[in-house]
Amino acid sequence: MKNMHIGGLVFFVITVSSLIGVNSISYSSSTCPTRKILYVGGYGPGNYSTIKDAIDNAGGGDIIFVYNGTYYENIVINKTVSLIGENRKNTIIDGGGNGNAVHMMAEKVDLTGFSIKNGIKKIASGEKWFYAGIRVTASNNTIQGNNIHDNLLGIFVRRATNITICDNNFINDSVTFSLYDEGNDFVPFCEKYFIHNVYNNTVNGKKLYYYKYKNDVRVPEDAGQIIAVSCKNMTAHHENLSNADFGCILVNCSYCTIEYSDISYGDGMLWLINSRWNIIQHNLIENNFEGVCIDSKSTRNIIRYNNISSNSKCGIIMEDGSNYNTICKNNFVNNNPHAYFSSCPKNRWIRNYWERSRMYPYPIFGQVKFGRLSLPWFNFDCFPLLKPCST
């Protein structure tokens, strides 16, 4: 199959579907008479050599078919197209560690049949933490049937709605939905940015569990990543969520418990967003970008008996009005720093171990805002532990 410039659009779609195992694509020449197909790679006359050139020359609604090969590109999809790879194992988009491998900026884009890798792998500081294999900043898009691996983040979706993510395999990557990225601190919480269609995905060979509007859920112990939106009374324990970017994300959740789990070696953190009355306990949280982030007015949560260590930016960070949380009897070791807060000075720090500290009380540095003015502020753990506690 090196030149498909014959047989019409219907023949093309049937052949592509059989190659990549996608049965939901069903365009026809009768219903889309103006839709054309552009080819990348292969040996056909007029085929493009880069995906970028094909996108530049495509019209709205066109199909771009990409033959097997490795394409060292940082692709921006700024128009409504269907981008289809010949085979998800052998049609490779390699971001070269230079930024997003793919950035979906237009609506109603379909992306299927690719291996996507090397969208910035490592960061020295926080300003580039949101780069990804696939970055999505527009709504109503579909990402289906891809292998996504070894990027900084796998799929990063910022303030978009109605995103379908299905039948993808993630290795050392996962899915992240966010209100903000660089320069967008303290964006008001809005649930719609977290309500999507996510199913039949794997993370490191295990299941990605995405729950929305569920109550009384017990997560099976084979999770590769957990994302819960507007759930109550969910329990997850003995999970291995390592190497999964944001191993666990709770959004607008309450009375949930995450315990006895490994949430390590991620490019994100365990993240609570606008969530309350949850318990995070007895977990190993190490070697992430941040260990735990309590964000967007998450209140009255309990973080206790966790080992929080070697997280590169911060062990635990409290942000954006996340007050009245209790952080007690955790072991903080080799984080940079152990803890920090911004615009939420009303949390309780009780008898944590702060790694060789002999300070009584132990100060937790942060800042508060008075109008446009930011001032340094302090919380205190008045009776810190001198030895690690048993977790």
CB count within 10 Å of CB 333 equals 18
In a domain, 193, yes or no: yes
In a domain, 352, yes or no: no
Range of the domain at 109: 1-203
CB count within 10 Å of CB 226 equals 29
Four-residue CA torsion sign, 52, 88, 149, 220: positive
Structure tokens at 368: 């508060």
Q: Are strands 164-166 and 197-199 parallel, antiparallel or unpaired?
A: parallel
* Predicted pLDDT of residue 33: 55
Structure tokens at 105: 């900026």
Task: Report the alpha-carbon angle 166-172-174, nearest 5.
Answer: 35
* Predicted pLDDT of residue 366: 97
Number of H helices, E strands in the chain: 2, 36
Element of type H or E holding 258: strand 257-259
In a domain, 256, yes or no: no
Type of residue numbered 153: L
In a domain, 2, yes or no: yes
In a domain, 28, yes or no: yes
In a domain, 137, yes or no: yes
* Predicted pLDDT of residue 103: 98
* Predicted pLDDT of residue 274: 98
pLDDT, tens digit (0-9, with 9 covering 90-100), for 37-83:
999 999 989 999 999 999 999 999 999 999 999 999 999 999 999 99
Per-residue tens of pLDDT for the chain, all 391 residues: 344 433 333 334 434 444 444 433 334 333 455 789 999 999 989 999 999 999 999 999 999 999 999 999 999 999 999 999 999 999 999 999 999 999 999 999 999 999 999 998 655 554 556 899 999 999 999 999 999 999 999 999 999 999 999 999 999 999 999 998 876 667 899 999 999 999 999 999 999 999 999 999 999 999 999 999 999 999 999 999 999 999 999 999 999 999 999 999 999 999 999 999 999 999 999 999 999 999 999 999 999 999 999 999 999 999 999 999 999 999 999 999 999 999 999 999 999 999 977 778 999 999 998 888 889 999 999 999 999 998 8
What pTM was estimated for this model as a whole?
Answer: 0.90
In a domain, 247, yes or no: no
In a domain, 20, yes or no: yes
Radius of gyration of the chain (CA): 23
User: Number of folded domains in the chain?
Assistant: 1
Residue 60: name the closest of 42, 30, 38, 45 by CA: 38
Helix (H, G, I), strand (E, B) or coil at 91: strand
pLDDT, tens digit (0-9, with 9 covering 90-100), for 74-117:
999 999 999 999 999 999 999 999 999 999 999 999 999 999 99
* Predicted pLDDT of residue 31: 42
